[in-house]
Amino acid sequence: MCGLVGFLGTGVHDSRESAKSIVGRMTDTISNRGPDDSGAWTCEHGLVALGHRRLAIVDLSPAGHQPMAGPSGRYVMVFNGEIYNHLKLRSALESTGQAPAWRGHSDTETLLAGFDVWGIQATVERAIGMFAIAVWDRETRTLTLARDRLGEKPLYYGWQGSGAQAVFLFGSELKALRVHPSFENRIDRGALSLQLRNNYIPAPYSIYQGISKLPPGSLLTVSLSQREERVSQYWCAASVAREGVANPFKGSAEDAVDQLEVLLKDAISQQMMADVPLGAFLSGGIDSSTIVALMQAQSSRPVKTFSIGFNEVGYNEAEHAKAVAAHLGTEHTELYVTAQQARDVIPLLPQIYDEPFSDSSQIPTYLVSQLAKKHVTVSLSGDAGDELFCGYTRYQSAERIWSKVGMAPRPFRQLVAAGITSVSPQRWNMIGQGLQGIIPASLRVPAFGDKLHKGADVLTSRDFDAFYLGLCAHWPDPSAIVVDGYHPPTTLVENAPRLPGFSRVQRMMALDMLSYLPGDILTKVDRAAMGVSLETRVPFLDHRVVELAWRLPQSVKVRDGKSKWVLRQVLYRHVPQALIERPKMGFGVPIGAWLRGPLRDWAESLLDEQRLKQEGFFHPAPIRKKWREHLSGQRNWQHHLWDVLMFQAWHEENRSLATVC
């Protein structure tokens, strides 16, 4: 796990020495991604520069230093990530007599040898792992960027400047690009609108105009003679989903459990490869418990596991994690975090996340990463189990609701919605409280009025996709609060993939895999962990596991009302069912209460009406209205307010750079 930066073009520098100085400064900004080593390389005239920060995981010797040139000298590369099957790739080269005389045992060296023999794309297609790669081809004078299949590792790029002074910048984080003298610092209003709707900015957009995220599973080529970058997919998650649904697994349910366990064990075994201490996050839920159970089954020593706890009711999973750890015999470390310790993370978020990002579980994710880093350099994670095995409760609830209301004519639904919203949320809450003694506890809904009003907002949706998008959205119409805001086309809107033959639940899972997983979940984990120089690995995202998951029929993912049935059966072979069966709990913090209490002054400063007007990004009135309603307790607008606050905090951190456009 490392960080990479670089640029193509002369721009404002006039020599190889000045190019090397600039790329060195860019590299220094991401030292958190690689505290163990740094390096820079420029071509003879300074037309291309590569920079690297290294977090040494495999081959700790100088033989793993980057930038690294390949055996033939044709390719020079910087690489962020891990190739878990790189020893098998070496064996494949050796079996045909095409392997070089190896200098060390790093996966970087393996990739470069593969480029010489198979070419860049064919080598990337053979690789199992997570990665962001930048390769300069000295022969064709072409730069190639590559990103892993599901988007675990970030990679930003874009032209800045104009004419002969234009420079193509790229790097693992935006802060590295901002250092370059040609960086233009123009905020993209469309990207800001997307952040308010989704709580993250999806690829290919970034918060800056002219700077993009390379989509997962993609290759990009660019040169000074061919300045228009060419982006192509070497692996397509939507195609994998389509192929899986069209050609489902033919074995029995027990066969599915057996095959999933074998494949997960192999993926986890490969991801336990490291020359440094390694462990795992453990929440005590199905996903992380499965990963840890299969790690421990293949380890001769207790696996190091980590969890954090909170004293607030409804936010603490630590006791469940401790019970699972005790059963498996792991070397478990837990830390109970005070509310103040959690709030102390908030000032760090603009630097950690580098562009506006407002999933508030970023706070506990950073804290558990910080805890793990005290003991290990690599931690495995259970992320992506929900998207692949139908774990989110919203899948079943959205399907259930739409199956009942979607058949009604839209004008009738509009009439019902108008009736619901004619009664205030507070009044609905009072009605809900009055029914507490009549309806079963399992059917009682907290914040009944808020949820009913949100349901009314999406009740008039034209189709199921719009209905689901509305359920997941925070600010449904960001252009109403972003000055000159608009909604660019995304995977969820306008550019949705064709998914023929998919059920409604399968559509939700596929759209989440393509958007929410890389945009929110993987971004959250990568930035939080790299903020403390910790490498995270996600075994569920081994592409072979993803391909199998999409071949498995829904009948083994949801059975007898239980989500993730097939994954549960794998887990129950290692952990008693009684330790796992409990309601799903999110990994969050009580942001809503904090905004009314200890964070009130901080939020009030960022949401000040005059400040909002002067900065020119937001229409103050709808934001101030929600702020007043939240403070009074009339409504819970924590998610909407956190979206705005995270942009405001980020902008305050970067105001000397950002240009109002």
Please say whether the beta carbons of 217 and 155 come within 8 A: no
Instruction: Give the span between the Cα atoms of 273 and 84, in whole angstroms.
Output: 7
**Gyration radius from the chain CA atoms:** 25
Q: How far apart are CA 659 and CA 661, in angstroms?
A: 6
Distance from CA of residue 142 to its chain's centroid?
29
Best CA proximity match to 402, nearest among 482, 344, 465: 465
Q: Is 456 left (phi over 0), alpha (psi -120 to 50) or beta?
A: alpha
- How far apart are the C-alpha atoms of 82 and 526, rounded to whole Å? 14
Residue 100 is which amino acid?
P
Residue 657: how many CB atoms within 10 A of its CB? 15
**How far apart are alpha carbons 123 and 136 in whole angstroms?**
15
Helix, strand, coil share (%) of the chain residues, nearest 5: 50, 15, 35
Residues in contact with 522: Cβ distance below 8 Å, sequence separation at least 6, in sequence order = 150, 151, 152, 383, 538
Distance between CA atoms of residues 646 and 391, nearest Å? 28
The amino acid at residue 147 is R
Listed in order, strand segments (DSSP E) in 179-217 are 212-213
Alpha helix ranges (H) inside 247-392: 253-271, 286-297, 318-328, 339-343, 349-353, 362-373, 385-389
Q: How far apart are CA 577 and CA 394, in angstroms?
A: 23
Phi, psi of 489 (to 5 degrees): -65, 140
Phi–psi pair at 186, nearest 5 degrees: -100, 125
Q: Of 2, 236, 390, 661, which residue is the catalytic one?
A: 2
Q: Residue 472 catalytic?
A: no
- Which residues are part of the catalytic machinery? 2
